[in-house]
Amino acid sequence: MESNDTKKKSFSEIIKGETPVLVDFYADWCAPCKMMPPILKQLKSEMGDRLNIIKIDTERNPDVAIRYQVRGIPNLILFRKGEVLWQQAGVVQMPQLKQLIEQKLEQS
């Protein structure tokens, strides 16, 4: 899901880019989090290069989770140029997620 150049950049560099970034905050022990990968894979296939999607493990990156007030997981945050455009905790189904993202990108 991530390209090699995405892995070399820091989180703050990735979210400041021109391309919007959807971040999926998760933990391995979180059962609902396991529902997100197929949804995100489908979203990526539909949106292609218009959206980058990355996953952040809250157990390994607590500082990032705290900075963005991630209290419940899964937690999705949409960034563009470092700005939070949208944030929601819980599983979001693909059609609703795509619609929300496209709406937020049009508004910003």
Residue 2 has what pLDDT? 47
pLDDT, average across residues 75-99: 97
This prediction has a pTM of 0.90
- Render 9-40 in DSSP notation, one character per residue: S-HHHHHTSSS-EEEEEE-TT-TGGGGHHHHH
CB 49 within 8 A of CB 5: no
pLDDT in tens, 22-70: 999 999 999 999 999 999 999 999 999 999 999 999 999 999 999 999 9
Give domain limits for the chain: 14-107
Supply the residues annotated as catalytic: 30, 33
- H or E segment to which residue 80 belongs: strand 75-80
Hey, what CATH class is 14-107 in?
alpha beta
Angle between helices 94-107 and 36-47 (to 10 degrees): 50
Q: Is the pLDDT of residue 4 over 50?
A: no
